[in-house]
Copies of this chain bind each other. A is one copy, B any other.
């Protein structure tokens, strides 16, 4: 308890490293299907082999990557069917978060959200794809943080991460990117009006339209306004 820094134990280091690797995958530093060689990761993240393996194990459990015995770990490739299932489940969960969000968010938070939306608008014009992606993530992460249900929130982010392994390009056209941008503002309008129904509907279309798979095989998640009691 002196001023010296405490030595981090493995579980912490592993979690940190796992998140770093996960972020690298999000940023497409490793593409779906690509093998993650332990030796490379050791160097890149300045970690011991043991930590690398632990982190990879964790990501494998989280389904961010896939483990093939005696071959190693590779970024999970999500097939179309699974991708559609992920989207469908995301819609179920993220729609369900809407009511909680409108119930708990305050004006200050909406203002901050507005700032993030503005940053996204800027990134649409001048930023790189990964920049757009990260800001978009920040926007939604902040919004969902008000849903009042930590478990729900956690599942949403788990699913979003899993979807990254897909070959399907989000924002396949600039037009869709602009649409996403506009929808952010529509969401905030719904927030200001405290209109959970409308927010839920916007979220659904936001998810569907962002990733244009052929027919939208989405089940009409009925509004189950269930977040934990405040």
Give the interface of A toward B (CB within 8 A).
9-12, 54, 57-58, 60-62, 67, 69-70, 81-82, 84-86, 88-89, 91-93, 95-96, 99-100, 149-152, 155, 159, 162, 197, 200-201, 204, 215-229
Min Cβ gap A53→B in Å is 10
Pick from B60, B96, B159, B216: contact of A221, CB under 8 Å? B96
* Extra 4 A-B pairs, beta carbons < 8 Å, given A9-B70, A151-B162: A61-B62, A151-B159, A201-B225, A220-B224
Shortest Cβ distance from A93 into chain B, in angstroms?
7
So how many copies of this chain end up in the complex? Answer: 2
Asked whether, in the complex, the Cβ of A152 is within 8 Å of the Cβ of B91, the reply is: no
Neighbouring B residues of A99 by C-beta, 8 Å:
219-220
The answer to whether A227 and B223 touch across the interface, beta carbons within 8 angstroms, is no
Report how far A100 CA is from B222 CA in the complex, Å: 13
Q: List 28 A-B contacts (CB under 8 A).
A: A10-B69, A54-B57, A82-B150, A84-B228, A85-B150, A85-B151, A88-B151, A89-B96, A89-B151, A91-B224, A91-B226, A92-B92, A92-B152, A92-B226, A95-B222, A96-B222, A96-B224, A151-B162, A155-B155, A155-B159, A201-B226, A204-B226, A219-B226, A220-B227, A222-B222, A222-B224, A222-B225, A223-B225
Q: Which of A70, A91, A155 has the most CB of B within 10 A?
A: A155
Task: Identify whether the interface residues of A are mostly helix, strand, loop, or mixed.
Answer: helix
Nearest chain B CB to A37 CB, angstrom units: 17
Could you say which residues of chain B place their CB within 8 Å of the CB of A226?
88-89, 91-92, 201, 204, 217-223
